[in-house]
Structure 1
Amino acid sequence: MIKKNIIKIGIALVLLITFTKTGFAASPNTNLLTVEPAYQDVVLNYFEKQKQLTYTITNNTTKKVILKAYAVDVKQNDFTGSIEFIQKDANNPYSLVTYLEVVDPDFELMPKEKYSLVVNVKNDDNLSPGGHYGAVLIQVSSPSEANPVVLPSLAVQIFLRKEGGDKPGLLLESVGWPNRLVWDIPASISLRFANIGNIHLTPYGRIEIRDQFSRLTYVGIVNESSLIIFPKTKRDIIATFRQTSWLLPFSLNVITIQGDELLHKVNYSYQRRFVYINLYAALALMAIIIFAVIKRKLLVSKAREIMQVLKPKRVTR
């Protein structure tokens, strides 16, 4: 039960420190614990027996703290991309916890003291090529006896890529674009990517909207925040548009999305045609059409009245 609570604390924490160089127990301006680096992307050669990682934990408090470090697996939830710490799962092909060895996991830090935590990533034939994801949680196991200080967990994430069989695969599965007839260009759209390979990927790309005269009217950048997609998961990434030119009131347009994953040379593309009609212009056009129809009916009716007046009357004898 205690370990489950620790992992729940870690889930909240990892959202705070994900992909930053320094992890911290709260705001970096407060005097708490810090760990550096908080994230490492590790490449393991197929023939390497072991890789050593070192993390620096600093006690910025005025109290002595007793700490305990242990390894867990990292899982990415679909669509949202949120990170979850989990215990070893035999059904998880991307587990890393079995191959993480925390050297001297129990230690204490005096005020302002630093500690170098060593983590060994072990390699053997059971560690399959491709991506494996884990983390090391650093928990305050016992505060100082006098004037205890309450501190949350720290976490360091380890994203491992073992060479010798890594297979990248990326699909742009769906695009949250409106219908073929568009009254207004949205400020942003959602792109759902599917990682069908066995290593984590970071897709990038560009979105363009051009009218029938090939004028570039809107542009967007895909994944400006460098979000990562785990193997065999899907993730929604929001892309924001920036207008580059004025739109015609009525136009035939095409939206094009092209991108890749630079490290692994995986490409994706999307294209769709749509008609844009400015809502106010459409209302004005409808008003003109309705006015023209009504006027025509009035003219026809008036013409009939005139014809009735001019029509010669029959003379009866």
Structure 2
Amino acid sequence: MKKVEKFLKLSIVFFIFFVLFLALFIPFEEIKAFDWPEGLTIKPAKTEVSLLADEDFSGLVRLINNQPIDLFVEVKVEDLSIWDGLQEIYPLSLVDNYSPQDFIKPAYNSFYIKAQEEFVLPVDISLPDFLPAGSYYGVLMFSVTSANQPSSQAKVITRLGSVFLIRLEGNNIKEEGRIINLSLYDSKKITTELPQYFEVVFKNTGNVHLNPAGRIEIFRFGQLIGEVPVGIFPAYPGLDNRIKVLWSSPLQSDFSKIGFYQANLRMYLGYGNEYQEFKTFFIVMPKTILIPILIILSFIFLGLFFKLFSRLFKN
């Protein structure tokens, strides 16, 4: 009976160890890019404005119809929503008496754009006096449909937006932020494929949006094999701002991909002359090489297991 118990315990230990060993090398899923509709082009997609308390702003948004049909466009001002990696949040949802509809004023609420032509939409911004210094946001949302679509048919509506980032200057402006993480996009430390994306997480601890930017250098066994820029991106106050960075690896063969990697990020924090560096490490073991190694190790473990098993019954 004792020999059977020992056998069962060894079997459980072996099974757990083997499963954990394999789990380290589960490949991450491929991230597919999202394609935006090409029927309407909006310029600019983002407008940044810095205003004093008694200052107004007038700007223009150009909408270019790239299709061979006339388009009907409806305009609505909405709150800016941000995906923080876990949920959709509204940065200014807790600000009292605030609504972007109160200060972002498009000249028209709807209009037509003829085929292959453009429409210029004037936009005025005027902040109310009661708002404290800081950042305020809004989005011009354009709902686009075909101008000649019969009313009896179901409408296909395309929604596109132009973001407005307004900075209200004052004595209480606080510019502060830092990198809190750099990782592979799926957060794995051991993977069977070279990463397509890195993820940078930037924490804005001030009260105005920042525009950080930087560069990631990738090393394999200490040798530089590539670098990728981290383009300027808006970092909103109080949030863990996440940016996905695409990397096209120069390594082609599976054998050349094996290794211990280090990624070094150097980033301008978006204010003054403040910079920060951040590092991460990961291991790459391609499946074409990993599988034979696992098979060999499996035979070794099985041999050791049966050797221990035979000794138990001899005793």
Q: Report the TM-score when normalising by structure 2.
A: 0.57
- Partner residue of 1:201 out of 202, 208, 211: 211
Distance 2:144 2:281 in 1: 57
Partner of 1:126 in structure 2? 130
Q: Please state how far the C-alpha of 1:102 moved relative to its aligned partner.
A: 2.0
Residues 130 and 167, structure 1, Cα contact 8 Å, conserved in 2: no
Q: Deviations over 1:241-271 (max 9, x none)?
A: 63579999998x6725122137434433234
Any conservation in 1 of the 2:217–2:265 contact (CA below 8 Å)? yes
Verify: 1:160 aligned to 2:160, yes or no: no
Q: Is the 8 A contact 1:95 1:132 kept in 2?
A: no
Deviations 1:2-60 (A, max 9, x none): xxxxxxxxxxxxx765xxxxxxxx434xxxxx354141332223255211111234566
Q: Per the alignment, do residues 272 and 190 of structure 1 end up closer, same or farther by CA in structure 2, a change over 3 Å counting?
A: closer
Counterpart in the other structure of 1:237: 244
Counterparts of 1:144 and 1:136, CA distance in 2 = 24
Separation (CA, whole Å) in 1 of partners of 2:252 and 2:64: 52
- The structural deviation recorded for 1:274 is 7.9
Which one-letter code corresponds to 1:27 in the other structure? Answer: E
Residue type matched to 2:125 in 1?
A: V
Q: Which amino acid aligns with 1:170?
A: R
Counterpart of 1:27 in structure 2 is 38
Query: How far has the Cα of 1:101 moved from its partner?
Result: 1.4
Separation in 1, partners of 2:71, 2:128: 39
CA deviation profile, 1:79-137 (whole Å, cap 9, x unmatched): 2798x8x7x96415896443211223244556666543221111344344443321112
Q: Is the 8 A contact 1:169 1:195 kept in 2?
A: yes
Say if 1:168 and 1:199 are closer, same or farther in 2 by CA, change over 3 A.
farther
Kept after mapping to 1: 8 A contact 2:106/2:122: yes
1:45 aligns with 2:46: no
Q: Go from structure 1 to structure 2 and tell me whether the alpha carbon gap of 1:231 and 1:63 turns closer, same or farther (over 3 Å shift).
A: same
What root-mean-square deviation, in Å, do the aligned CA atoms of Structure 1 and Structure 2 show? Answer: 5.0
TM-score (norm 1): 0.56
The structure number with the bigger radius of gyration is: 1
Verify the 8 A CA contact 1:44 1:51 in the aligned structure 2. no
Counterpart amino acid of 2:50? L
- 1:191-224 CA distances to partner (integer Å, 9 max, x unpaired)? 340332330434322233253xx543x4342536
Cα distance in structure 2, aligned partners of 1:248 and 1:64? 52
| SS of aligned partner of 1:74 | coil
- Matched residue pairs, number? 251
Instruction: Give 1:151 shift.
Output: 5.6
Could you tell me which residue of structure 2 aligns to residue 71 of structure 1? Answer: 77
The question of whether the paired residues in 2 share the 8 Å contact of 1:80 and 1:236 is answered with no
Contact map agreement 1:192 1:236 (CA 8 A) in 2: yes
Q: How far 1:227 moved relative to its partner? A: 5.0
Amino acid at match of 1:171: I
Which 5+ residue runs of structure 1 have no aligned equivalent? 1-14, 18-25, 29-33, 291-317
Contact kept in structure 2, 1:64 and 1:109, CA below 8 Å:
yes
Task: Give the match's secondary structure for 2:85.
Answer: coil
Q: Cα 1:272–1:55, aligned 2, differ >3 Å: closer, same or farther?
A: closer
Does structure 2 conserve the Cα–Cα contact (< 8 Å) formed by 1:35 and 1:55?
no
Please list every run of 5 or more consecutive structure 2 residues that lacks an aligned counterpart in the other structure.
1-33, 301-315
Tell me: CA distance 1:99–1:163, structure 2 relative to 1, closer, same or farther (3 Å).
same
Q: Deviations over 1:217-238 (max 9, x none)?
A: x4342536x5544333331524
Mapped to 2, the partners of 1:126 and 1:74 lie a distance apart of: 20
The AA in structure 1 aligned to 2:209 is: I
Percent identity among equivalent residues? Answer: 12
